[in-house]
């Protein structure tokens, strides 16, 4: 949990700095910063996806599993409408803490919370770093992630405001849960499972990047079940003796 707490501190500091800076930046500069962050997010996701698959055998078959998990997860997520639930929670936070009567300010708060929560929590570093922290107490990966998230929070908050800071609640719940659960599943997760998990996470981060660039508005939270479905598919294939799984 130490790595997660470090991550939370970095996001809070970055958010406070970003909110202070954002009030001094023209709207066009804020827009350009957000665009740059969107491009950087996609670039990071591509590198993560490549790294996840680089040491794996039978990569085409594994990518089919990634595709299947993503599609199946999106159907499950749409049926559960996780994106709506996350947005509702963001609206509740805004009413409870920000209390803005301006519809535009409310939408900005909620977008900041939702986007930051997804960026900080569904990437490969969040998942693998939390597992590493829980299994061995090694926080090196989460330390790197905390540094990156701090700068990302600064850039997000400069454009999207204080809602970004409330993503620490999501970070605490998701990364903390993964770290606490890691000890009990350390003998279950195999290398192919981690590769699929990281690859699915990387694809979701690409989707977040597309949203930041305003290329397409994607209900990203509805893809979150794919992070569970991917490893399950690998486990089933392994049970049937499929080579490479």
The rounded distance, in Å, linking the Cα atoms of 241 and 196 is: 17
The separation between the first and the last C-alpha atoms of the chain, rounded to the nearest angstrom, is: 30
Check if the beta carbon of residue 198 is closer than 8 Å to that of residue 48. Answer: yes
Position 54 pLDDT exceeds 80: yes
The answer, as to whether pTM is greater than 0.85, is no
Q: Which residue has the tokens 């605490």?
A: 172
What rounded mean pLDDT belongs to the chain? 84
Domain range summary for the chain, segments of one domain joined by + = 2-239
Sign of CA dihedral 109, 110, 116, 119: negative
- Binned at pLDDT 50, 70 and 90, residue 148 comes out as confident
- The larger pLDDT score, comparing residue 48 to residue 67, is at 67
Sign of CA dihedral 43, 49, 55, 58: negative
Q: What percent of the chain has pLDDT over 90?
A: 17
Q: How many CA atoms lie within 13 A of 212 on its CB side?
A: 30
3-state helix, strand, coil in the chain (%, to 5): 85, 0, 15
């Amino acid at each position: 949990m130490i790595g997660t707490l470090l991550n939370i501190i970095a996001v809070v500091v970055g958010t406070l700095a970003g909110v202070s800076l954002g009030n001094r930046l023209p709207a066009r500069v804020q827009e350009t910063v957000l665009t740059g962050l969107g491009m950087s997010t996609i670039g990071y996701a591509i590198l993560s996806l490549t790294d996840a698959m680089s040491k794996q055998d039978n990569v085409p078959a594994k990518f089919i599993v990634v595709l299947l998990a993503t599609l199946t997860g999106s159907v499950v997520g749409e049926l559960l409408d996780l994106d709506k639930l996350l947005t509702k929670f963001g609206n509740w936070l805004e009413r409870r803490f920000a209390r803005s009567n301006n519809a535009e300010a409310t939408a900005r708060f909620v977008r900041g919370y939702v986007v930051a929560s997804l960026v900080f929590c569904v990437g490969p570093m969040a998942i693998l770093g939390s597992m590493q922290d829980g299994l061995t107490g090694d926080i090196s990966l989460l330390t790197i992630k905390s540094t990156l998230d701090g700068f990302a929070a600064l850039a997000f908050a400069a454009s999207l405001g204080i809602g970004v800071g409330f993503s620490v609640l999501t970070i605490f719940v998701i990364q903390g849960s993964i770290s606490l659960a890691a000890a009990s599943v350390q003998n279950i997760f195999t290398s192919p499972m981690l590769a699929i998990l990281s690859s699915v996470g990387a694809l979701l981060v690409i989707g977040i990047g597309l949203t930041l660039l305003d290329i397409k508005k994607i209900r990203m939270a509805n893809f979150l079940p794919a992070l569970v479905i991917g490893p399950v598919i690998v486990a089933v294939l392994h049970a049937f003796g499929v080579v490479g799984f």
